[in-house]
Structure 1
Amino acid sequence: MDYYAIVHNDFDGTASAAVYARAVGSLPKKVFFTEPTKIHNLLKNLELRGVYKVMIADIGLNASTLDSVIENLKKLMSQGAEIEWFDHHVWKDEWKKKLQDVGIKVYHDTSTCGAGVVNKNMNPEDEFSKKLASADCSVDIWLHDDPMGEKLRRVVEYNKDYKWKEYLIQKFYKGILWDEEFERILLEQVDKELKGYENLHKYVKVLDVGGKKIVVAVRWRGPPDISYASQFLMNRYGAIVYASVNGKAISFRSNSIDVRKFAEKLGGGGHVLAAGAGLKAPFWRFLLNRLGIRSPMLNWASKIVEKVISETGFTPYEGKRNVTM
């Protein structure tokens, strides 16, 4: 069966594509890796070229791009495309209805990760897919209840080239969860991470907002990745929220605060404990940061974070840290 896979450019998107491929018994003709803030443009430029099945997974909807997404989905449907959308981010009920009214098959479940949604609806009896989804959910929605997740995340993020993620989808499709190649990569990544932690303090600024500490960071090159760094920095500075910028987007993390509200304030979305939004830095600040002069962009980002949090307020996370498969 020929189909296109459109997935988030992270571990969850990679796992979602692999679980779906195992469910339908074939790899996608092409995988498109994207982000929620860019899905509307990808759909606009997508050419079917004789492929009339499209699966979308681990891509949330944002209010700022919803109308464009709907318009472009209608165009693809008018050309004969059959589209399935699997997601676990928080959606408004009317968003789901709008997609269903267009004719999209929507599978939405906030109790699990993207790969978990695909697994539950497409191949719940596949033991390998269950294991892969469990590992993925552990790190994607900050459950940290499956050690394999911490290992596989490092393998997936080892190489930023999308060809690497396509290669991993092929390996997962074949039922390979761990092997000597992954073990070697894990050891390399952990070694780089340990060295990277020593320099993180150069990239951060600690704020006090309403008597609570917030860590703001500009992104660095190389390990550790944002998830591991955010935990390390929040613990080091006694902060309850972590925010990082790269000049194009902002990411929020917390163990106890609903950070999706901060992301929504900036036109984005995501999970309750891990969310983000597009945030383009002024060019001169972006350029200076690339040249190693970090304070202009760090100060700019800190003012935005302080303003957003002050206006939104802190909403404690009261959900249960569990997952259903």
Structure 2
Amino acid sequence: MDYYAIVHNDFDGTASVAVYARAVKSLPKNVWFTEPTKVHNLLSKLEPRGVYNVMIADLGLNESTFDKIVESCKKLIDQGVKIQWFDHHVWKEEWKSKLSEIGVEVHHDTSTCGAGVVHKVMNPDDEFSSKLASADCSVDIWLHNDPMGEKLRRIVESNKDYGWKKKLIETFYNGILWNEEFQKILEDQVDQELKGYQKLPKYYRVIEINGVKVVVAIRWKGPPDISYAAQYLMTRTGAKVFVSANGKAISFRSSTINVRLFAAKLGGGGHPLAAGASLKIPLIYRILRRIGIISPANKWVCNVVTKVINDVGFKEYQQKDITQH
């Protein structure tokens, strides 16, 4: 079957394509890696060029771009294109209804990751896809219940190039979960991370909000990835929440607190244990950050985080949180 793939630019997006490819027994004619905030632009420019099947996975929807997405999907469907959309982020019921009404085949399940949705729908009996989806979900929705997830995430994100992700899709499609090349990359990545941990004290501070410790960090260059840094710093400091800001966006992580509520307060979203939102740090603080003066930006973010958490409160994560639509 000829088809195009449009997915999120991360491990979950890569795994989603591989699982789908195994289900339909063919690799995509082309694959686009994008972000939820940009998918409407991609769809508006997409031309079938003889390919009349499109799979979209691991891409949530935004209120501000939803109408444009509907318009673009309808245009493609009117040209004879079949669109399948697999996602696990929080959707409004009206979004599912409107897309379904124009002919989009919507598969939405918040209890798993993007690859997990594809696996459930397309090939639930494929043992390899089950292993890949398990590893992916472990890190994507912060369950941390499959050690292979920590290893594969490092492999996928060791190289941001399109060609690398395409190679990984082909590798997974062929039923290879781990090989010697991956092992070498993992060893190199871990070495870099260990060196990176030494520079972290300059970038974070610990604050206390209503008796709960929160780590607030300004993003640094290079490894470790914020997810690994989050686990490390929360364990090291006894904090229950980790917050990272890079100047334009803010990310929340926790193992026990529903941080999606904090992201939603700032107009964002995500998963109960891993979420984010747009947050533009004032220009003067960003300039100071570029020349190595981190504290002003950190203090500003701490004030934002304190206000948000005071407004929302700490809500313990419950398993049911991942199944609420």
> Which band: TM-score by shorter chain?
over 0.9
Deviations 1:263-297 (Å, cap 9, x if unpaired)?
11222211111111222334443343233332333
Q: Pairwise CA RMSD of aligned residues?
A: 2.0
* Count of aligned pairs between the two proteins: 323
For residues 22 and 318 of structure 1, the distance between their equivalents in structure 2, rounded to whole angstroms, comes to 33
- Show the 5 A alignment for 1:268-307: 268-307=268-307
> Which 10-residue stretch deviates more, 119-128 or 43-52?
43-52
Q: How many angstroms does 1:321 deviate by?
A: 10
Unpaired segments ≥5 residues, structure 1:
none
For the residues of structure 2 that align with 1:188 and 1:221, how far apart are their CA atoms? Answer: 17
Distance 2:121 2:210 in 1: 43
Residue 38 (structure 2) aligns with: 38
Contact 1:260 1:273 in 2 (8 A): yes
Relative to the length of structure 1, the TM-score reads 0.93
Return the offset for 1:72: 2.6
**1:293 alignment partner AA:** I
Residues of 2 paired with 1:82 and 1:117: CA distance?
A: 18
The corresponding residue for 1:74 is 74
Residue 114 (1) aligns with residue 90 (2): no
Q: Which has the higher contact order (CA 8 A, sep 6+)?
A: 1
- Is residue 110–residue 322 contact of structure 2 (8 Å, CA) maintained in 1? no
8 Å Cα contact 1:3-1:55 kept in structure 2:
yes
Corresponding residue for residue 125 of structure 1: 125
Q: C-alpha distance in 2, partners of 1:319/1:255?
A: 12
The reply to whether residue 7 of structure 1 matches residue 7 of structure 2 is: yes
Give the TM-score normalised by the residue count of structure 2: 0.93
Write the mapping of 1:52-201 to structure 2, written as runs, cut at 5 A: 52-201=52-201
- 5 Å matches for 1:197-276? 197-276=197-276
Q: Contact 1:64/1:267 (CA < 8 Å) preserved in 2? A: no
Contact 2:134 2:146 in 1 (8 A): yes
The residue number in structure 2 matching 1:18 is 18
Say if 1:178 and 1:317 are closer, same or farther in 2 by CA, change over 3 A: same
Deviation sequence 1:105-158 (CA, Å, 0-9, x none): 011112211111101111112111111111111111122221111111111111
Aligned-partner Cα distance in 1 for 2:232–2:225: 11
Report the CA distance shift for 1:67/1:304 in structure 2 as closer, same or farther (over 3 A): farther
Structure 2 counterpart of 1:319, one-letter code? Q
Q: Which amino acid aligns with 2:15?
A: A
* Change in 2 beyond 3 A, CA 1:294/1:176: same
Question: Does the aligned pair in 2 maintain the 1:57–1:87 contact within 8 Å?
Answer: yes
Q: Which runs of 5+ in 2 are unaligned?
A: none
Q: Which amino acid aligns with 2:209?
A: V
- For 2:298 and 2:189, locate their aligned partners in 1 and report how far apart those are by CA, in whole Å: 27
Identity of aligned residues (%): 68
**Is the contact made by 1:6 and 1:32 (CA closer than 8 Å) also made in structure 2?**
yes
